[in-house]
Copies of this chain bind each other. A is one copy, B any other.
Amino acid sequence: MPQSKKAKADKNSGRRDPAKTRDAILAVAGKLLGRDGPEGLSVSQVAQLAGVNRGTAYHHFQTREQLLDATMQWVSAKLVNEVFPDYDPDHWVPKNRPRDTNDKLADFMAANPEFGAAWVHSVIINGGFELDPFWRIYHQQHEHFAETDRAQPNIDAEAHAFQTICGVMLMPYWVRGRGVTDRQRKALLERYKKESLRQAQHGMIKR
């Protein structure tokens, strides 16, 4: 029976699962934001691709600008959940090393290429990235590692974290441009991860 829809709406306020609708809208908006850039995001198109009435979209987000803001936050939050699932703002010490984080991040980005572009555009280019939650955690983790005795001396963790994150976020486009089959793409992803590791271990220049 179609009524058996998991009594999940404990305090989910709404009746028809508005949170899910909102999420569907934001997911599409994230993709489009990555593909077309911020000025290319239209409420109409988002609603259409999300399989939702335009009115519904305006029901959840008063204006295009608000949808844009919400989308940026959503993307960042999504990244945090995926890559740092155990993050707690109060007392958190990174368990993993940066390279494990980067592997995790790389896998996620490979599966959701547009999110990387969306993040780059909204967070980095649009400005205010130093306030972005995901960046803060990512940066913090690198800073933490740099103080470890496993780390080389004199690392500029912030500059390095920035360089790394840019590469990982855009890596799927390198993969996409170089490989056509799934097999090839998977291999390229592995190449990228491997080279990141090699680079961390040995650098580029022979000594």
Contacts and interface: CB of A to CB of B under 8 A. Distances in A.
Contact of A159 (B149, B169, B192): B192
Given A152-B206, A203-B152, A124 B167 contact: no
Number of chain A interface residues as a range: 35 or more
A164 to B, nearest CB: 8
A201 B15 CA distance: 59
A88 interface: no
A30 interface: no
> A130, A152, A159, A195: which has the most chain B beta carbons within 10 Å?
A159
A199 B152 CA distance: 9
Interface of A: 34-40, 98, 117, 120-121, 124-125, 127-130, 145, 149-152, 154-156, 159-160, 162-164, 166-167, 169-171, 173-174, 176-178, 191-192, 194-196, 198-207
Contacts of A196: 159, 163
Nearest to A116: B125
Contacts of A192: 159, 162-163
A191 B39 contact: no
B166 A170 contact: yes
A116 to B, nearest CB: 9
Which of the listed residues A128, A155, A191 has the most CB atoms from chain B within 10 Å of its own CB? A155
A129 B175 CA distance: 11
Nearest to A193: B159
